[in-house]
Amino acid sequence: MIERYSTPEMRDLWSERAKFAAWLEVELAACEVWAENGRIPAEDLWAIKHNARFDEARIAELERTLHHDVIAFTTNLAENIGPAARHVHLGLTSNDVVDTAQSLRLRSAGRLIMEEVAGLISDLRQAAIDHKEIIMIGRTHGVHAEPITLGFKFLIYYQEMLRNRTRLEAAFADAVVGKISGAVGTCAHTGPDFEKRVCAKLGLPVAPVSTQVLQRDRHAALVCALAVCGATIEKIATEIRGLQRTEVREVEEPFSSGQKGSSAMPHKRNPVKCEQLCGLARLLRGYVVPALENIALWHERDISHSSAERVILPDATTLLHYMLRLTRRVVTGLHIYPGSMKRNLERTRGLVFSQRIMLALVEAGMSREEAYEVVQSAAMKTWENEASSLRQHLLADPRFTAVMTAEQLDAMMNYASFLRHLNALYDRALR
């Protein structure tokens, strides 16, 4: 991932140095188990552990000739270890090292991501509480519907992020496993106990069965979970973008001192952070298809998944980590304009009360069909005449005044009446 959309922690985690360090960790764990089994003399194990070093430039130089990155790596180790290097990589195949080491890095990536997920959940929960009383219009199809609160929006996002946390925890747990099962997965040269003990030293669960590689449904499910979380971020960002439009301007993403919105128009305050998040969510979703296509490999393994994974796993985890961190800055720094919310509530001149009034007419004895027609007729006249109100047209209709007084109508036309059940929703959702 380019530096612009990376975080320092993820850049370090997915660096070439970190990759080789993880490979070495797996190789050393295998050597320790061989030593415990009596296959590696103590003095050779000492030489391996104290002399095992790698040089990225030397590995790259070797790979230009060998065309095999793992052999280049073990060759470089041997150059530094000396004769005891004959025990390194004993009974292993390349992907025993590569896949298991990748799981080590995915575990670290998961910890970084879950830390930001927890932070965003906390931020959304607090925003739901802080903005619980700020009344605004709810919209369906982009059209004014009935009043809600700004906090209610964040309550929705809070619950969705809880679901993302569950999905991500399960996906990382499924993907972060080890395998030391050999060339076709039969443990022919090491044995299942060896595999279990090496993985235990690395703190990894062992895959119950594998081929030469861990099965890629694990990684596909992880990338899908990352993309779903990214889609939730896009959902939040899209809503803020919509509410920041000049005609609406109910909320606005943070705009810092000295920030410029346009090279041409000095007045501009554009939702560039949220637009960036939406674009990156598209990119993140793009990794799902190669992740799914990596599942079907020839026989016990081919290499078609490898080139794709070198890109999609570092990029997907890095992108989501960056997106989560940016979303937290947006949510906690949001500018809120209750005055605009009040003006927008009143723009339709009472139309938001149409359902409440229709139900009251039904309760008063009118058929639902007639009640709907009475209220819709008054509503359509209100839409067509911007100088009029729903109240005015209802009171001009004798069908309405036959069952309801002006005082009863006025008692219904208050915004707080829509929100009397909100506390119960909060109690249910804020777990």
Q: What is the CATH number of the domain that holds 399?
A: 1.10.40.30
Q: Are 219 and 175 in contact (CB under 8 A)?
A: yes
Asked if residue 184 and residue 286 are part of one domain, the reply reads yes
For 139, the domain range is 93-254+261-338
89-103, 165-179, 270-284, 410-424: segment of lowest average pLDDT? 410-424
* 187 and 272 part of one domain: yes
Write out the two tokens for 429.
């959702």
Per-residue b or e along 331-344, where b marks 16 or more CB atoms closer than 10 Å to that residue's CB? beebebbeebbeeb
Q: Are 100 and 191 within one domain?
A: yes
Q: What is the average pLDDT score of the chain?
A: 96
CA dist 248 and 196 (Å) reads: 60
Domain presence at residue 77? yes
Is residue 421 domain-resident?
no
- For residues 98 and 78, membership in a common domain is answered with no
Clarify whether 354 is annotated catalytic: no
Q: Evaluate whether residue 346 is within a structural domain.
A: no
Same domain, 10 and 114: no
pTM greater than 0.85:
yes
Closest residue by Cα to residue 27 from 65, 77, 66: 77
pLDDT at 82 over 80: yes
Average pLDDT of 174-178? 98
Please, which residues have CB within 8 angstroms of residue 20's CB and are 6 or more apart in sequence?
54, 56, 59, 73
The residues, any chain, with a CB within 8 Å of residue 327's CB and separated by 6 or more, are: 120, 233, 236, 237, 277
Pairing state of beta strands 135-140 and 251-252? unpaired
Q: Are residues 209 and 322 in the same domain?
A: yes
**Of 65, 90, 115, which closes a domain?**
90
Chosen domain end from 338, 373, 388? 338
Whether 418 is covered by a domain: the verdict is: no
Top-confidence residue, 198 or 269: 198
One domain for residues 84 and 97: no
The number of CA neighbours under 13 Å toward the Cβ of 236 is: 33
Residues 146 and 284 in one domain: yes
CATH number of the domain that residue 37 is part of: 1.10.275.10
Close Cβ partners of 11 (under 8 Å, ≥ 6 residues apart): 3, 318
Catalytic residue, chosen from 262, 304, 367, 417, is: 262
| Residue 376 covered by a domain | yes
Give the least confident one: 301-310, 324-333, 338-347, 411-420. Answer: 411-420
Answer yes or no: do 205 and 320 share one domain: yes
> pLDDT at residue 243 above 80?
yes
Q: Collect contacts of 381-390 with beta carbons under 8 A, ≥24 apart.
A: 382/348, 382/349, 382/350, 382/351, 383/351, 386/349, 388/349, 389/349, 389/350, 390/348, 390/349, 390/350, 390/351, 390/353, 390/354, 390/357
Tokens of 271: 């939702």
Catalytic: 141? yes
Last residue of a domain, one of 338, 367, 393: 338
| Res 266 pLDDT > 90 | no
Q: Give the CATH number for residue 266.
A: 1.20.200.10
Kindly state whether residues 66 and 100 are assigned to the same domain. no
Give the Å distances, CA to CA, from 292 to 71, 223, 289, 308.
29, 9, 5, 11
Assess if residue 428 is contained within a domain: no
Cα 424 to Cα 158, 235, 380: the distances in Å are 16, 25, 34
Q: Give how many domains the chain has, as a whole number.
A: 3
Q: Which string of DSSP letters, residue by residue, matches 257-286?
A: TT--S-SS-TT----HHHHHHHHHHHHHHH
Are residues 307 and 170 located together in one domain of the fold?
A: yes
Residue 430 lies in a domain: no
Residues 177 and 50 in one domain: no
| 399 exposure class (CB count in 10 Å sphere: 0-12, 13-18, 19+) | middle
For residues 206 and 33, give the distance between their C-alpha atoms in angstroms, rounded to a whole number: 15
